[in-house]
Structure 1
Amino acid sequence: MLISPQLARDILADLTRDCGLPLDAGELIPKKGDFLDHGYVFIGDVAVRGYKDKGRWKYDDRDIRRAGQALAAVRVDHTDVVEAQVPSRRYFDDRESFGNWDQADWRRSLNYWIYAAARRSRHRDIADAYDDFDSDVWSSRYQLGAHGLPGQLTREELISSHGERTVAGTRPFELLTWSGTHWVLPRAYADMLDRSQKRDRALAEQARICTGCQQHGDRYAWRTPTASGYVTLCPACSGKTFQPYKGHLQGLAYSSLRRLHRADEYLCCLCRASRASIWDHCHEHGYVRGPVCASCNTFEGKGVAFLRRGGSVQHLLECQGCREGDTLPRRFHVDVVLAHLEGTERHGRCRHRPHAYRSEYVHGVHRITLYCHAHASTSKWTKEVTVAEAADLVRVLVKSALAGASAS
C-alpha cells in the first residue's frame, strides 16, 4: 500500500523507538530533486523507493517497515570502533575525487561539513568571509589542533552548526568520538554506511542507462519526469517516444490549452532532449509559449544566463502578445539591461567583461552596479538606466531576434 511521507516518517519513528542509532526520520519528507538521481531514499542501508501518485511522492509501507526493522536490528558497540578518517584533506586535495564528486561518499560529506564549520568559526562577518575566498583555505589557520579539529573549531561548535546533518537517515556527528589521537565511529555504524554508499552508487549508475537503448549517459542528463516518477531516456529515444513541438498552438490562451493537451506528450521545446512536464506561458499576456521540461523551466528564472542561451528570446516571443508589442515580460527587462551593459561597458581600457547586477530602483531609474574582477581596488562603478531606456533595449533585442528567425 502506498502511504504519504508523513505517515512513513511516523511508522519508521515507531519501529525504531529503541534503536541505538541517532535517527532523523524527517529525511523521508521529500525535497525538490530528492528522487532525481535514482528514485530512492536511503534509510540506513535500505533503499526506499519513491512512487509518484497523483502528483505526490509516496512510499510503499512494506519498504518502510523493512527499513525500520533493519535499523532496529543494528547493535552499536561503542567499544568496537574504527577510525572515521576525518578531518582529512585527502578528500579535497585528491583531484580524482572531483571527477566523482557526484557519487555518494559519507566520509567526504563529513569532511566537507567539518571544514565548512571551521571556516564559519573563523569568519563571522561578510567581509572576512570574502577575504577567505581569496586566501589559501589550507593555511596554518586550518591545521588540526590538539582537539583534533581544524583551526579553532570545537566539537560544540561543530554540533551547533552541522549536528543536524544526516547521512542515510542518521546523524553521524552524534556518534563521532575523539580517542585522543583520532576521531572514531562504532564499527557497526561505519559498516552500515559503507553498505549504504555502495548500494547508492550502484543505483545511481543504473539510473544513467537509457531504458530504451541501454546507452550510458551522464548523471541527470537523461532523467525525465513522468506521472509515475523519473525514467532515463536518451535524446534519441525521447525523440522516438515523444512528439516534437512545432509551434502549432501559438496564440492559444493557457487557460484553455491545459484542458485540451498534455505537456508530457511532447519533447521539451527548449532543450529538445527531455520529455516536457509543463506548459510554459507568458504570465502578462496569458499565451502559451510551448511545452518545457522541469530543468528548462527552472533555468528560465536565471535571468541573464537564460537570455544568453541560444533560442531563449525566440522562445519568449512565442507569446503572441510579446511579439505584437515588440517586448518581453517586464521581469526580463532588467536582465536585458544587465546583459547589454556587460557586453558594452568596460573598466577604463580593461578588456575584461564586467559583471553587472541591479542594486536599486528609484523613481523610474535602475541603478546598476558593475564589477570588474581584474581591478581589485577600483573594481565597482554604477550606471543609471531609465525605464524608457530599458524598454528601448528590449525592443532592439526583440526586433533582432525576430529578424534572425525570419532569415533562418
Structure 2
Amino acid sequence: MPERVIPGRTGGLISLGAADTLWAGLTSESGVPTAATAFTRSPAQEYVLLGGRVVATVKADGGQWSVAEAAVRRAAAELNTVEMDRRDVVRIGPFRGVPKRERMEGALLRWRERIAGELQEPGSPDRASRRGGSRMLHLAGIDWRRILVEQTQGREARSWWLPRAVVRLLDAAEHAERQWLQGVRQPSEALTADGREVTSPDCPTATLRPYGGELKGQLYAVLSRKPGISGKVAGWICAVCRTSPATVLDHCHEHGYVRAPVCHSCNTLERPDHLYRNGIRVAGRYTRLFDTDAAAWLPHWHRCPGCRARTTLPLPHLAAWTAHIACRPLRPTHRPRGTRGRTPCGMLRVSWTGSHSTPRSCLLTVAVGCCPSGEHRLLARVPYREAVERFGTWLAETAPAVATAAGPDRLDDLPIQSRPVIADTSGEGLALF
C-alpha cells in the first residue's frame, strides 16, 4: 500500500516509499514518463537520480533511508518543464566497435551500455545470467521503456532510439552522478541530520565551464590521441545548446579541424542523414539547423578554419542547405485528403557527384522521392560553386556577424600545415579555393 504524503509538509525527511508516491504524483502530467518506483527500486545508497539532478538521501535511526521532501519537489518541478517531442529521436545503440567497460551495478554511469545490456537478444549468455534478477525499470526516475523506439532492418539488424529531450536529461544525470562519485558535492545536496538543506539549490551543470575557443585551429586526428582529453572535454558545457555537459569533440570531417566540445544530442542532431555515400535525406532536423536554431549552428560550423576561410560548409551540410533553403520554392506541394491547405510533397533528397576538392566537376542533384502520387521528381541540378555563392549571400543576410568573420581574405588564423583547402588551379574562381 503506498505511503501517504502529508500536503504542505515540505521541510523535513520522508521515507523512500513516500518519496515514490510524491514523485509519481508530481510528475503525472509531465511530458516525460516517469517511474512510480524511482526510490524503492534503487539500491540503498547516498543518493538517487531524478532527471538531471542528484538527490541526496540520509540514513535515519533504525537504518532506514530517507530523503528531503523539498528536494523531490524541486526535481519534479524541473522535469515538468522539459518538453519532449517523440518524433525527434536519437539513436542510442547498438554501436559496433565500442569496447566494453566494467559495469557499475546500481549506478547510472554509461546509461547507454546499461540499456543495451537490457535489450540484448533473449538467448544471449549475459541476458540468461541475469534471469531472475531485478530488471532495470527506470533510469533517473524516467520510465525509458515507454518511449523507447526500436527499428528493425532485415531479420537481425536492430537499432534503439530515444527522444532527444530524454537523451539530454540522461546525459545530464550521468554527468551529475560522475561528479558526485568523484567527491564534488553540489551545495544543494548537503543535508543536515533532520533533512534540511544547508544552502540554496544549484544547477547540475553549474560546475561546468563554458567553451571559450581553447581548442581553436587544432586537428582532431592529433588532439583525440592526447591522454586525458576525454576528461578535459567532460569539464565543458556543450558549446551549442549550453545546457548539457559536453561528451564528445565535434569536428569537421571534411577539413579535419576541431569545432568545439558538444553533448551527444547536439552531435547527432547536426550529423547528416546519409542515404548512401554521396547522398543524404533532408529530414526535419534541417528546419532547426538552418531556420529556428541557425544563430547557434552557423557560428559553430564556422569554428572550422577551412569552412570559415572559404565561406562554406562541409559538402553534406552544403548539399542539405541547397535542398532545404535554396530549392525550397521548387518543391511541389499537394493537398492531403480531408484537410485544407497544402503540404510539401514526398521526401526531399540530395546527392552529388565529385567532391569539394574538385569544385568544377562537383554537382548537387536535388530530388523528391516517395511522392503520394508515385512520382519521383527532379527539382534542380546545382553546381557546387553556385551553391557556395548562394550560401554566402544567404549567410550575409541571416548571420551578418558570421559572414563578416568569414571570407577568403581572412586566413590569419589558418594553421600553416593544414589539410583543409585544396588549391584549384583549373581557372576562374580561385578566390573560393
Same fold, judged at TM 0.5 (above): no
TM-score by length of 1: 0.43
Structure holding more helix per residue: 1
TM-score by length of 2: 0.41
